[in-house]
Amino acid sequence: MLGFLARRLTRCPTLLVLTYRDDELGPRHRLRLLLGEVAISAVARRIGLRPLSADAVRVMVGARGVDAVVLRELTAGNPFFLTEVLSDPGGGGLPPTVSDAVLARAARLSMPAQLVLQVAAVADHASSPGC
């Protein structure tokens, strides 16, 4: 789906923002191929992000009763993980993988939103006359 969208960005007034963890991609991962294709596109911009600083984590923690130093160590300063941990009302802690965190977040969506995700995950680009 990402390749399909990326190839059509020049024909549509669209902003596509994607994130990924490059430390979780092996040399043969399919996303590596897509990144290579997108890198030569005139419309693509890649912005590398560093982990959040200790001060930034303290700001995110705010007045919650959470140790910002420990939380930064547990999450390696990953803003998505930080947000997931801080938004967990049960205090269940850090999901073991990004996939687990994404699936947990998707499970909290409304049923119509989950259906949209399911359709997008299996959409066949050949049956979609591109924008």
Structure confidence by residue, pLDDT tens digits, 36-79: 777 777 777 888 888 999 999 999 999 888 889 988 988 889 88
Domain around 68? 54-94
Is residue 68 domain-shared with residue 85, that is, in the same domain? yes
Residue 127 has pLDDT above 70, yes or no: no
DSSP string over 53-104: PHHHHHHHHTTSS--HHHHHHHHTT-HHHHHHHHH-TT-----SSHHHHHHH
Q: What is the DSSP letter of 128?
A: S
The verdict on 75 and 39 lying in the same domain is no
On whether both 37 and 9 belong to a single domain, the answer is yes
Domain tally, the chain: 2
At residue 91 the predicted structure's pLDDT band, cuts being 50, 70 and 90, is low
What's the pTM value of the predicted model, to 2 decimals?
0.53
